[in-house]
C-alpha cells in the first residue's frame, strides 16, 4: 500500500509541529518501508512555506541575526496528494520496467535510467548553492535539486518502482547509491563539486580513487530506509537568510531527529548526531542528552562503525569546545581530526575539508592565542605541554595529508599563523619536546616511514602515527559546500 493511502488524513491540514511529528511517527513506526517521497514532500512543503514564502510585512518585523518568528503554516492534504501522485506518475511513466529484466534486484541500467529521469527534468541552469533545494517538494514545484537532493530522489524513485535494494550511501561530502544482492553494487547518481563531468552510472572506483576522503576510504554511511528518512530530516534547512533561522523549522527538525534517535536510526550516522548536537546547543531539550554528549556519540559512531575514517565528528566537537572557550579540549578534537587525515592524500575533491582546516588553523587557533594572550586562559594553555602536543599533532596530520599528494596543501598563509602560535608557547614547554626518530634499520624493513614526536608532560605523552605507503596517489574531483549539503555555486552544472 503506497504511503499516501496509509496516511492519517485527520492530521491534515498540517498546522503545527505535532501534526508533522505524528505523520512521521506513523510512517516510521507502523510501516516496514517508510515512503521517502511522501516524507520529503511533507517536510519540504513545511520548510518552503516557512522560509521561502514570506510576506514582506513579516520580514520587516523579523529581527535580523536571530530566530525569526516563523508565522503559521498550513499544508493541505490535496496539495500533498497532488505532488505525491505527480512524483509517482513521473517515475512510473518514464521507466518501462520490461526493459530491465525480471530480477527483483535493480540493475545498473535501471538505476542509471532513474537518475536520468530526475537529471533530465531539472531546470537547465540554476544557482546550485541555494538553500531549500534538497527535497522532493523542491523537485516537483521548481525542478531544482542540489546534489544530495538528486541522490535522495533517485532512491525514492527506485522505491516507487519497488526496488527496495537501492539505498543511499553517504560520505562527508558526496552521495551515491548501493544496490543488488547484499547491496554489493555501487553507482554514481549525482554530480560532485564544481565544473566536473558527472560520473553517473559508473561504479564507485575500487582503485586508489576510492581511498580518498571523498569516498571515506571505503567507509561510507550505507543507509537503510530509516537512515534515509534521517538524511532527509537532517537536510532540513531552517535558514531564512544568511543571518536568520526560522525557529519553527529548526524545532520541527529537532523533534523529528529525536524521534529517529529514539528508534536507533541515528546510531550509525555521525553527521546526523552532529547536526542534532548543533540544534541542541542552540535550543537544549530538557531531559535529553547534552549537545556535548551528542558530539561525543558522533565520534564514537565513527570509531565503532567506520574505522575512525570520518573527520567531521571531530570538527563538530572541536567547534563546540571552541565556542565554549574550552580551548584545550578543542585542540585535542582538532588533533584527533588531523589523525584521521593521515590516511588520505589531498586532492581537488577535498576542497570543502581544506576550507574547514584552514579556518581551524588560520582563524580559530589564532583567535585562541589572542584570547589566552590577553589573560582569558582557564587552562593556561601556553604553559601546558599537552596543548603544545595537540597543536603539533594537528599540524603533523595536515603535513601527512599533504605527503604523497600531487596537490599541495600548505603555503605561506599557513606558516605565518603556525610560527606565531608556536612562539606563543612558553620556552619551558617547547623545551620539553622530544623527537624520537625510529632506528634506521627498521625503516628499511618496514618500507613505511614512521616518526614519533612526543612532548613529555608528567606521565603523558602524545605521538604522531604511521606514514602512508608511497604508492598511494590522488584522485581528481571537486568539493561541496557542507553548510546545506549543496554544491559550490556554478551557473550551469546541469
Ligand atoms: C562540522 C561541519 C563543518 C559542520 N557541518 C557539517 N555538515 C553539515 C551537515 N552535513 C550532512 N549532514 C547529514 N548528512 C549528510 S550527507 C552529506 C553529503 F554526503 F555530503 C551529501 F549528501 F553529499 F551532501 C552531507 C551531510 C554535511 C556536513 S560538517
DSSP helix, strand, coil percent of the chain (3-state; round to 5)? 55, 10, 40
Mean pLDDT of 210-239: 94
Nearest to 156 by CA among 117, 197, 127: 117
Q: Is the CB of 147 under 6 A from ligand 1?
A: yes
pLDDT for 314-357, tens place per residue? 999 999 999 999 999 999 999 999 999 998 999 888 999 999 99
Highest-confidence range of 90-104, 343-357, 430-444, by mean pLDDT? 90-104
Residue 212 pLDDT: 82
Q: Is the CB of 356 under 6 A from ligand 1?
A: yes
Closest-CA residue, ligand 1 atom 7, reads: 482
Tell how far CA 5 is from the center of its chain.
33
Q: Is the CB of 314 under 6 A from ligand 1?
A: no
CA-to-CA distance for 73 and 75, rounded, in angstroms? 6
Mean pLDDT of 166-192: 98
For 422, counting Cβ atoms within 10 Å of its Cβ (0-12 exposed, 13-18 middle, 19+ buried), the class is middle
Nearest to 294 by CA among 245, 248, 258, 247: 258
Task: Write the CA distances from 5 to 80, 85, 209, integer angstroms.
Answer: 12, 11, 44
**Stronger pLDDT, 467 or 71, i.e. the higher one:** 71
Residue 476 has pLDDT above 50, yes or no: no
Residue 448 has pLDDT above 90, yes or no: no
Contact criterion met (CB below 8 Å) for 83 and 137: yes
Distance 479 CA to ligand 1 centre (A): 12
Nearest to 258 by CA among 17, 4, 69, 13: 17
Residue 466 pLDDT: 39
Mean pLDDT of 467-474: 41
Tell how far CA 97 is from the center of its chain.
34
The pLDDT-based confidence of 61 (bands split at 50, 70, 90) is very low
CA-to-CA distance for 111 and 100, rounded, in angstroms? 10
CA-to-CA distance for 116 and 425, rounded, in angstroms? 57
pLDDT for 110-140, tens place per residue? 999 999 999 999 999 999 989 999 999 999 9
Q: Is the CB of 278 under 6 A from ligand 1?
A: no
Q: Is the CB of 334 under 6 A from ligand 1?
A: no
Mutate to test the pocket of ligand 1, among 271, 321, 336 (most ligand atoms within 8 A of CB): 271
Mean pLDDT of 38-53: 95
The pLDDT-based confidence of 409 (bands split at 50, 70, 90) is confident
Residue 70 has pLDDT above 70, yes or no: no
Nearest to 45 by CA among 19, 65, 74: 74
Parallel, antiparallel, or unpaired for β 185-187 and 175-179? antiparallel
Residue 444 pLDDT: 55
Mutate to test the pocket of ligand 1, among 135, 239, 274, 277 (most ligand atoms within 8 A of CB): 274
Residue 2 pLDDT: 77
Residue 453 has pLDDT above 90, yes or no: no
Mean pLDDT of 78-105: 97
Residue 462 has pLDDT above 70, yes or no: no
Q: Which residue carries 514545484 as its cell?
A: 141
**Stronger pLDDT, 211 or 476, i.e. the higher one:** 211
Residues near 319 by Cβ (< 8 Å), separated by ≥ 6?
Answer: 330
Residue 285 has pLDDT above 50, yes or no: yes
- At 203, give phi and psi (nearest 5°): -70, 160
First-to-last CA distance in the chain?
Answer: 34
Closest ligand 1 atom to residue 151 Cα is 22
CA-to-CA distance for 305 and 395, rounded, in angstroms? 26
Residue 440 pLDDT: 52
Contact criterion met (CB below 8 Å) for 433 and 455: yes
Residue 104 has pLDDT above 60, yes or no: yes
Q: Is the CB of 169 under 6 A from ligand 1?
A: no
Residue 8 pLDDT: 96
Residue 377 pLDDT: 64
Closest-CA residue, ligand 1 atom 20, reads: 173
Mutate to test the pocket of ligand 1, among 170, 281, 306 (most ligand atoms within 8 A of CB): 170
Contact criterion met (CB below 8 Å) for 277 and 294: yes
Mean pLDDT of 385-405: 94
Distance 310 CA to ligand 1 centre (A): 11
Residue 474 pLDDT: 35
Closest ligand 1 atom to residue 272 Cα is 13
Q: Is the CB of 315 under 6 A from ligand 1?
A: yes
Q: Is the CB of 480 under 6 A from ligand 1?
A: yes
Residue 454 pLDDT: 66
Q: Is the CB of 482 under 6 A from ligand 1?
A: yes
Residue 492 pLDDT: 39
Q: Above pLDDT 70, what percent of the chain?
A: 83
**Stronger pLDDT, 280 or 205, i.e. the higher one:** 280
Closest ligand 1 atom to residue 192 Cα is 23
Mutate to test the pocket of ligand 1, among 129, 298, 312 (most ligand atoms within 8 A of CB): 312
Residue 254 pLDDT: 98
Q: Is the CB of 311 under 6 A from ligand 1?
A: no
Closest-CA residue, ligand 1 atom 23, reads: 174
The pLDDT-based confidence of 296 (bands split at 50, 70, 90) is very high
Residue 186 has pLDDT above 90, yes or no: yes
Q: Is the CB of 352 under 6 A from ligand 1?
A: no
CA-to-CA distance for 232 and 214, rounded, in angstroms? 20
pLDDT for 478-489, tens place per residue? 333 344 565 433
The strand pairing partners of 453, in sequence order, are 435
Q: Which residues of 180-212 are buried (b: 16+ CB within 10 A; e: fewer)?
A: beebebbbbbbbbbbebebbbeeebeeeebbbb
Q: Is the CB of 215 under 6 A from ligand 1?
A: no
CA-to-CA distance for 163 and 111, rounded, in angstroms? 10
The pLDDT-based confidence of 208 (bands split at 50, 70, 90) is low
Closest ligand 1 atom to residue 486 Cα is 24
Half-sphere exposure (Cβ direction) of 452: Cα atoms closer than 13 Å: 11
Q: pTM to 2 decimals?
A: 0.89
Number of H helices, E strands in the chain: 20, 8
Mean pLDDT of 367-381: 81
Closest-CA residue, ligand 1 atom 4, reads: 316
Q: Above pLDDT 90, what percent of the chain?
A: 74
The pLDDT-based confidence of 53 (bands split at 50, 70, 90) is confident
The pLDDT-based confidence of 456 (bands split at 50, 70, 90) is low
Closest ligand 1 atom to residue 485 Cα is 24
Distance 315 CA to ligand 1 centre (A): 12
Contact criterion met (CB below 8 Å) for 169 and 151: no
Closest-CA residue, ligand 1 atom 21, reads: 174
Residue 195 pLDDT: 83
Residue 211 pLDDT: 66
Residue 376 pLDDT: 63
Residue 477 has pLDDT above 90, yes or no: no
DSSP H or E run through 397: helix 385-402
Q: Is the CB of 171 under 6 A from ligand 1?
A: yes
Distance 21 CA to ligand 1 centre (A): 23
The pLDDT-based confidence of 215 (bands split at 50, 70, 90) is very high
Q: Is the peptide bond before 406 cis (omega within 30 degrees of 0)?
A: no
Amino acid at each position: 500500500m503506497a504511503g499516501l493511502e496509509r496516511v492519517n488524513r485527520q492530521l491534515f491540514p498540517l498546522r503545527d509541529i505535532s501534526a508533522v511529528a505524528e505523520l512521521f511517527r506513523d510512517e516510521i513506526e507502523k510501516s516496514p518501508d517508510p515512503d521517502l517521497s511522501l516524507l520529503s514532500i511533507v517536510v519540504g512543503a513545511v520548510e518552503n512555506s516557512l522560509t521561502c514564502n514570506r510576506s514582506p510585512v513579516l520580514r520587516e518585523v523579523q529581527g535580523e541575526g536571530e530566530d525569526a518568528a516563523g508565522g503559521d503554516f498550513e499544508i493541505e492534504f490535496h496539495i500533498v496528494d497532488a505532488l505525491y501522485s505527480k512524483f509517482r506518475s513521473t517515475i512510473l511513466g518514464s521507466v518501462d520496467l520490461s526493459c530491465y529484466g525480471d530480477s527483483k534486484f535493480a540493475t545498473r541500467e535501471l538505476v542509471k535510467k532513474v537518475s536520468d529521469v530526475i537529471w533530465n527534468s531539472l531546470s537547465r541552469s540554476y544557482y546550485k548553492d541555494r538553500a531549500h533545494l534538497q527535497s522532493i517538494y523542491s523537485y516537483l514545484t521548481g525542478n531544482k535539486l542540489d546534489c544530495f537532493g538528486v541522490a535522495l530522489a533517485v532512491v525514492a524513485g527506485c522505491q516507487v518502482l519497488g526496488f527496495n535494494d537501492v539505498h543511499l550511501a553517504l560520505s562527508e561530502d558526496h552521495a551515491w547509491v548501493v544496490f543488488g544482492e547484499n547491496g554489493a553494487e555501487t553507482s554514481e547518481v549525482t554530480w560532485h563539486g564544481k565544473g566536473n563531468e558527472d560520473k553517473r552510472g559508473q561504479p564507485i572506483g575500487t582503485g586508489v580513487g576510492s581511498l580518498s576522503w571523498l569516498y571515506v576510504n571505503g567507509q561510507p554511511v550505507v543507509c537503510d530506509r530509516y537512515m534515509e528518512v534521517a538524511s532527509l530530516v537532517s537536510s532540513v534547512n531552517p535558514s531564512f537568510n544568511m543571518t536568520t533561522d526560522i525557529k519553527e523549522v529548526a524545532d520541527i527538525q529537532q523533534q523529528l531527529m529525536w524521534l529517529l534517535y529514539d528508534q536507533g536510526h541515528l546510531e550509525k550516522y555521525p553527521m546526523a548526531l552532529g547536526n542534532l548536537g548543533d540544534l541542541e546547543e542552540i535550543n537544549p531539550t530538557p531531559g535529553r542528552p547534552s549537545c556535548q554528549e551528542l558530539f561525543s556519540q558522533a565520534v564514537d559512531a565513527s570509531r565503532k562503525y567506520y574505522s575512525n575514517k570520518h573527520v567531521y565528528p571531530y570538527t563538530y566537537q572541536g567547534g563546540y569546545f571552541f565556542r565554549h572557550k574550552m580551548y584545550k579540549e578543542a585542540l585535542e578534537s582538532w588533533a584527533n581530526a588531523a589523525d584521521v587525515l593521515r590516511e588520505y592524500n589531498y586532492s581537488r575533491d577535498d576542497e570543502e575539508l581544506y576550507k574547514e582546516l584552514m579556518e581551524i588553523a588560520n582563524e580559530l587557533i589564532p583567535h585562541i592565542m589572542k584570547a589566552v594572550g590577553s589573560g582569558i586562559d582557564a587552562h593556561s594553555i601556553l604553559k601546558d605541554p599537552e596543548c603544545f602536543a595537540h597543536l603539533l599533532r594537528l599540524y603533523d596530520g595536515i603535513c601527512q595529508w599533504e605527503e604523497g599528494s600531487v596537490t599541495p596543501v600548505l603555503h605561506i598563509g599557513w606558516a605565518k599563523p603556525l610560527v606565531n602560535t608556536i612562539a606563543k608557547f612558553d620556552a619551558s614547554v617547547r623545551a620539553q619536546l622530544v623527537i624520537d626518530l625510529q632506528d634506521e634499520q627498521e625503516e628499511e624493513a618496514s618500507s613505511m616511514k614512521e616518526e614519533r614526536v612526543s612532548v613529555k608532560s608528567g606521565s603523558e605523552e602524545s605521538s604522531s602515527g604511521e606514514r602512508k605507503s608511497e604508492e598511494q596517489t590522488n584522485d581528481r574531483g571537486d568539493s561541496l559546500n557542507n553548510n546545506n549539503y549543496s554544491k559550490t555555486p556554478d551557473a550551469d552544472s546541469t
